[in-house]
Every structure is written in structure tokens, then in C-alpha cells.
Amino acid sequence: MRKKIALIGGGQIGQILAMLAAQRELGDIVIFDIPQLENPVKGKALDLTEMAPCGDYDAKVTGTSDYKDIAGADVVIVTAGLPRKPGMSREDLLAVNIKIISEVARNVKQQAPNAFCVIVTNPLDAMVYVFQKVSGFPKSKVVGMAGVLDTARWRAFIALELGVSVEDVAGTVLGGHGPTMVPLPRLTTVGGVPLTDLLDKPAIERIVDRTKEAGTEIVKLLGTGSAFFSPAWSAIIMAESYLKDKKRVVACAALCEGEYGVKGLFIGVPARIGAGGMEKIYEISLNDGEKAMLSKTADAVRQTVAECKVEATA
């Protein structure tokens, strides 16, 4: 029997998620959106169904506004929420998206209580916290997408700077999904060669800054909305690792309970994703400067989470 993937939110990211999941034959796909957008998601589902013969994939794709249709989903990817607009910070989204994510969490808990859940909605670090608290799901079954995306942007900008393949750039980005995130130049390599041997400090600092502001850069260029291709691919990597028990070690917003000196917060850390969900957090030996930056990003996440005022579900 095929696996079932529920996509909560059928906008730009949701529709690309549906296409990628179908093309990779990860399972049958249900695209959920609010009643006012039921026909559009049904249209997108039909379009993907008609694309299947050309795309050489087998997947049943449906659209709905009824949460009952996500019943028994193996994976739930949440993109629902108000997107960021020019001049709007992720924190500006907080109040409205808390309400949306809380409703999603309650319905997912009722209809798909065993699902592995990937949260994409911004402000990411707070929204994954809200989802986990409201749903009451174990930490192994709830993660935030951003670490994969932040690391992808870091690798992409390094490859552009050096004129090399992105495949040969290895590195990771820790911390919150925003301007306090922590790229790690000291531990980044290109074909095994340390990045610090290939670029001088000003060049590296320029790439660090661009990585931190990558989402905002795209928002300004688009004029309306925010990034959609790269977040979708990032979430698919996580879903696929879970469904296929690939044991990928990727940066994701995972619930830390003492790791990196952080307690009770979802921040970007290297984590193994397999059939058990988020199975293990890996701790990197950081120098004093990196520890200070991680402490700063944890403080920023803690402040945003404190504003959520969400109590855990019994």
C-alpha cells in the first residue's frame, strides 16, 4: 500500500511540494486548504493527475477542504499561514499564524495522530514550537524545515562565489531561521578543502550575511510572497528520509533538551531523520565565538516563543 502525504496549504510551496512528492513517487498526496480555496487545490490536483503520463509517475493526487481526507497520513507538511510581504519581518506574522497553526495542529492530531510532521510556516522556530505544544506529539514526530533550507542557501552562495558545483560544498547552518542564524565557515569544505583556505575573511563574511538575509532578498525581488521552490525541496528531503528510512543527517529545527546548552526550544541543529522520525541530534564542538552566536540565536528564538503563550496539550 502506498504511503499518504498530507500537504496543509495549497499555495506556491504546497503545489510544488505536491509535484515533487508525486514525481519522486513518495506516496498518494492530499492537498488541503480552506473552503474558499477548495476549487483551486482540486484544480491543482487534477492538473498533476493529468501530468502523470508525461512525468512517468504513479500517485493519486486529490484536493480538499475537509480535514477528514487527511486521515491516516504518514507525513504531514504544513505551509499554511500568511506569507511574508516586503517590509514585514517573520515576527510580524506571529499573531495571525499562531491561530492558523494551532487549528492545524488540533486537526492533524485528530486525523493523523501517527504522522511525521514538517512545519514550514514562518516564523518557523515559533510555529514548530506551537504545533508541537498544541498537538502534544513527541519531539521525534515534529520538526521545522528551515535548517535544510538555510544550509542549502549557504552552499549555493559559496558555489556561486567559487564557480564550483554545489555537490562539492559541504557545510551546515545552526540556530534560528532568521538573521541570527549561525553559518559555520570553519567547518565548511569544498571538495574536502577548508573554505577558509579558499576565500578570505571579507568574502566569507559577505556570504554569511547574504545567507542570513536570503529569505528577505527573495521577498524584495518577488514583491509579493516569499521563496517557494527551495523551501519545497527542503521539506521533501526530510519527508523522503523519513518515508524511506534513509537516515539523512540534515540541519532541521528540532526540539533541544540540553543539546548545545538549549532547553525546550526548536532550533536548527544536525539531526538524523529515519523511520523513527527525528531520531538523534548531533552536537558539534563549537569554539567560543560560535557558542556566543548560537546563544544569541537561542535568545532570539526564546523571546519569540515567549510571545506565543501556548500551553501544552495534555
Say which of 177, 237, 262, 290 is annotated catalytic.
Answer: 177
**SS3 state of residue 232:** helix
Amino acid 154 reads W
Cβ distance 273 to 254 under 8 Å? no
CA-to-CA distance for 127 and 305, rounded, in angstroms?
9
Cβ distance 12 to 23 under 8 Å? no
CA-to-CA distance for 103 and 282, rounded, in angstroms?
32
Q: How far apart are the first and last CA of the chain?
A: 33
Residue 60 DSSP code: -
| Packed helices 94-111 and 124-135: angle between N→C axes, nearest 10 degrees | 40
177 catalytically annotated: yes
Catalytically active residues are 177
